[in-house]
C-alpha cells in the first residue's frame, strides 16, 4: 500500500545531533543547520519546514542515510500511519533497533517525514527515554562492550 504525505513533523532541526537534541548554541553554530531536507511551506499558514529525504546524495543535505521516522519530539499523524500499516501499528521492542526498523517500514509504506528548521524544544531522550519511563532497560544498554 502506498500512502503519500507527511506523517510526522519533528520539532527540532535534524541536521545534526546537537540540533535534534535541542542544544541551541551548538545547533546555531553548525554548518548544516536548516539544510537536512527539502524546504517546504504549509499551504494554509505558510509555516516553513523541511521534508526529509532518504538515500539522496545532495550536497549540503545531512541525515539522508536515516529513513525519517523518529521517536525524537514531534507531531504524528496517527491516522495516516495506521492507514499505511493496515491497522497493524506496533513497535517490536524485542528488536534492538526497533526505531530504525519501524522507520524503514514506514518509508517502505510510502510515509514521508518532515522537521522544523530550528530548535523548538529541548530533547531529553538521551537521558530519559520511553524505556526508562516505563521501568525498562533500553536494549542497547544491555549489549556488552
pTM: 0.77
Residue 57: per-residue pLDDT: 67
Q: Mean pLDDT, consecutive 10-residue segments, the chain of 145 residues?
A: 73 87 87 83 89 74 74 90 83 76 88 91 72 66 55
According to the model, what pLDDT value does residue 3 have? 45
Angstrom CA distances, 119 to 54, 67, 76, 106, 128, stand at 21, 20, 18, 24, 19
Residue 1 is predicted with a pLDDT of 40
Amino acid at each position: 500500500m502506498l500512502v503519500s504525505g507527511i506523517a510526522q513533523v519533528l520539532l527540532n532541526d535534524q541536521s545534526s545531533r546537537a540540533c535534534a537534541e535541542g542544544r541551541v548554541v551548538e545547533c546555531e553554530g553548525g554548518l548544516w543547520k536548516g539544510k537536512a531536507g527539502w524546504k517546504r511551506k504549509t499551504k494554509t499558514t505558510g509555516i516553513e519546514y523541511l521534508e526529509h529525504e532518504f538515500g539522496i546524495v545532495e550536497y549540503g543535505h545531512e541525515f539522508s542515510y536515516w529513513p525519517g521516522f523518529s521517536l525524537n519530539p514531534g507531531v504524528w499523524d496517527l491516522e495516516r500511519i495506521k492507514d499505511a500499516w493496515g491497522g497493524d501499528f506496533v513497535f517490536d521492542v524485542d528488536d534492538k533497533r526497533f526505531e530504525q526498523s519501524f522507520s524503514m517500514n514506514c518509508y517502505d509504506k510510502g510515509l514521508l517525514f518532515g522537521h522544523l528548521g530550528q530548535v523548538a524544544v529541548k530533547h531529553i531522550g538521551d537521558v530519559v527515554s520511553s524505556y526508562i519511563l516505563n521501568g525498562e532497560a533500553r536494549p542497547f544498554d544491555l549489549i556488552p562492550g
